Structure 1
Amino acid sequence: MSFGNDPFDSLTIPDGTTVEEYDLVTEGNVMIGGQSTVEFGVRARNILAGERVQFGGSIEAERDCRLDVWCEVADNVLVGKDAYLGERVHIGGQLLVAGDLDIGDDVTVEEGFEANGWIVIRNPVSSLVFYFIILSHLLQVNESEAASEFVQEIAAEAENNTDDADTDSNDVMMIVIPRGATVSDDIWQVSTPASIGDDCRLHGNVRAASITVGCDTNLFGSLRARGDIDIDKRTRIHGDVTTRNGAVSISAGARIRGDVVCDNLQLHDDAEVYGTIRASGEVNIVHAPIADE
């Protein structure tokens, strides 16, 4: 996965991501910027969270889990391999680690913990804190290429610790939640662009700088952006689609069960809008191509 100039420059939801009974579920990895609120539980391959991230449910990591300082988890943390917890992390349930546990100072686990491997208690700073310090410094001095390489090296290191039977690391998808985001059953709110992949099933209203939604995705909520909104083929949006200053593009077979408000609109004639369309600029109807004989 390419992170571009900044690993947290977009909310990225990869193909096949679902929300199941208030859990955010993906077969890939999850990377969450600092000071974000994720009211779901999270189930993924590897989970990496920055400082002061709040989780409203449990965490289940098939492999490694890294939580930076002051993170809070409302329920259990279950880790299939190794866990790394920064200082003053609070876990409201149990902590169960199949591998090694690297734990910082003043960590609270309400219902106790168990690790099958080595247990290392650090004081005062975790290696995960250094990861974010280095990354932040590289971005501040405009070393975006070096920052991107650094993140890719961390991801590659995590993948190198997996079993030989695991799939190629190049095929691993990743959910990226930007710094300061709010993610819940009601809203996905970020100040960055948002990209939602194919075959996803999500709940909540999406608020972002701009939004792209892949094909065959089912979103139970509205879309609102300052810029453009692009909706791919056969996607269902159960809510309004609104942009303040941008254009809306709706592809063939898409279904919008709400109003569409935008500047310019491109609408395929095989798409359906079950609401009012208000476009202050140009409206372009795209006709279905004639099938080749």
Structure 2
Amino acid sequence: MAFSRDPLDELVVPDGTEAKEVDLVTDGDVLVGGRSTVEFGVRGRNVLAGEGVEFGGAIEAEADCRLDMWCEVAENVLVGQDAYIGERVHVAGEMKVAGDLDIGDDVEIEEGFEANGWIVIRNPMPTIVFLFVYLKHLLLIGEEQTAQRLVSELVDEDEGEEIDVDPLVIPKNATVSDDAWRVSTPATIGDDCRLHGNVRAETIDVGTDTTIFGSLRARGDVSVGEGTRIHGDLTTRDGDVTIAAGARVLGDVSCAALELGPDAEIDGTIRADGEITMGTTDREPE
């Protein structure tokens, strides 16, 4: 992780992420920036949410769960290891924690909670705030190697085993629902994903063999990977569009310049202010 950029300045949907009915399911961690609304439930390894995040479903974390103050969870919270819950968090269901539970003041859990380990009730500093303050202190005193090890332990390792799965990152002030994914940042969607909802972002980069049941709209460039299916329109305000080989857009495309790979398909109308470039399939040698 580079210290020069905010880890929550981009929507990142890792490879293999699926929207299954009411849940977002990923093999890696889930990181949600402050004041975002996620109308799905989430299932992942570690689940970390900033201040004032709203979840429209349940949270299932295989490892730890960290919810900062003022978070709202519409259903249950199930945690495989430890949970850290900030003050004034509201959980409409029950909370079950396999390990320790560190819980702040004025937390409301409507259907009760249980933990197999220690239960500590206090008013902790918000988890994400604490981590950034601690990292900043290490960098100020010149302990860059120590800071890098801390980030690796938090993001890349679990009980000594290295994790090579990228996290699902939802930036602050985002809205994620079955209707739309709205962010004011760039968006990167990985390979082999299956998502529902229109994607609205600064720029959009979609990987290979992904299916999106919704339209794509961006201010800047949009790229669609090989074999991907977009069930909706693709529109940019000022950017170019690249549609790779074998990809298909089941709707209209509006952009500045358009580049189409071999066997790419557009089922609707093309509106391009600039050049339209069409790739060809290489001939096999005779």
Asked if TM exceeds 0.5, the reply is: yes
Take 2:19 and 2:66, find their aligned partners in 1: how far apart are those partners? 22
Please report how far the alpha carbon of residue 132 of structure 1 lies from its aligned counterpart in structure 2 after TM superposition: 5.0
Match for residue 286 of structure 1?
A: 279
Match for residue 197 of structure 2?
A: 204
Q: How many residue pairs get matched?
A: 284
Match for residue 27 of structure 1?
A: 27
Contact 1:29 1:47 in 2 (8 A): yes
Contact 1:51 1:69 in 2 (8 A): yes
**CA distance change for structure 1 residues 286 and 245 in 2, over 3 Å: closer, same or farther?**
same
Alignment of 1:192-271 (within 5 A): 192-271=185-264
Letter in 2 for 1:212: D
**What runs of 5+ residues in structure 1 fail to find an aligned partner?**
none
Match for residue 157 of structure 1?
A: 154
Take 2:128 and 2:105, find their aligned partners in 1: how far apart are those partners? 13
Contact 1:95 1:114 in 2 (8 A): yes
Alignment of 1:125-144 (within 5 A): 125-132=125-132
Take 1:3 and 1:208, find their aligned partners in 2: how far apart are those partners? 24
Contact 1:201 1:218 in 2 (8 A): yes
Contact 2:67 2:86 in 1 (8 A): yes
Contact 2:245 2:263 in 1 (8 A): yes
Please report how far the alpha carbon of residue 173 of structure 1 lies from its aligned counterpart in structure 2 after TM superposition: 1.8
Please report how far the alpha carbon of residue 129 of structure 1 lies from its aligned counterpart in structure 2 after TM superposition: 3.9
Contact 2:86 2:123 in 1 (8 A): no
Letter in 1 for 2:17: T
Take 2:124 and 2:44, find their aligned partners in 1: how far apart are those partners? 28
Take 1:90 and 1:150, find their aligned partners in 2: how far apart are those partners? 33
Take 1:277 and 1:265, find their aligned partners in 2: how far apart are those partners? 9
Take 1:158 and 1:5, find their aligned partners in 2: how far apart are those partners? 16
Please report how far the alpha carbon of residue 131 of structure 1 lies from its aligned counterpart in structure 2 after TM superposition: 2.5
Contact 1:232 1:250 in 2 (8 A): yes
Take 2:221 and 2:285, find their aligned partners in 1: how far apart are those partners? 32
Take 1:205 and 1:3, find their aligned partners in 2: how far apart are those partners? 31
Q: Deviations over 1:89-147 (max 9, x none)?
A: 00000000000000011100000000000001113534444225567x79xxxx9xx99
Match for residue 47 of structure 1?
A: 47
Take 1:251 and 1:176, find their aligned partners in 2: how far apart are those partners? 25
TM-score normalized by structure 1? 0.90
Match for residue 81 of structure 2?
A: 81
Take 1:216 and 1:152, find their aligned partners in 2: how far apart are those partners? 35
**CA distance change for structure 1 residues 260 and 24 in 2, over 3 Å: closer, same or farther?**
same
Letter in 1 for 2:154: E
Q: Deviations over 1:22-65 (max 9, x none)?
A: 10000000101000000000000000000000000000000000
**CA distance change for structure 1 residues 223 and 116 in 2, over 3 Å: closer, same or farther?**
same
Which range is displaced more, 247-256 or 152-161? 152-161
**What runs of 5+ residues in structure 2 fail to find an aligned partner?**
none
Identity across aligned pairs (percent)? 61
Please report how far the alpha carbon of residue 154 of structure 1 lies from its aligned counterpart in structure 2 after TM superposition: 4.1
Letter in 2 for 1:47: V
TM-score normalized by structure 2? 0.92
Take 1:254 and 1:59, find their aligned partners in 2: how far apart are those partners? 34
Contact 1:46 1:63 in 2 (8 A): yes
Match for residue 60 of structure 2?
A: 60
Corresponding residue to 2:269 among 239, 252, 276: 276
Take 1:194 and 1:126, find their aligned partners in 2: how far apart are those partners? 26
SS in 1 for 2:178: coil
Take 2:127 and 2:80, find their aligned partners in 1: how far apart are those partners? 20
Take 1:127 and 1:249, find their aligned partners in 2: how far apart are those partners? 40
Please report how far the alpha carbon of residue 175 of structure 1 lies from its aligned counterpart in structure 2 after TM superposition: 0.6
Letter in 2 for 1:46: N
CA RMSD, aligned part only? Answer: 2.5
Take 2:48 and 2:173, find their aligned partners in 1: how far apart are those partners? 15
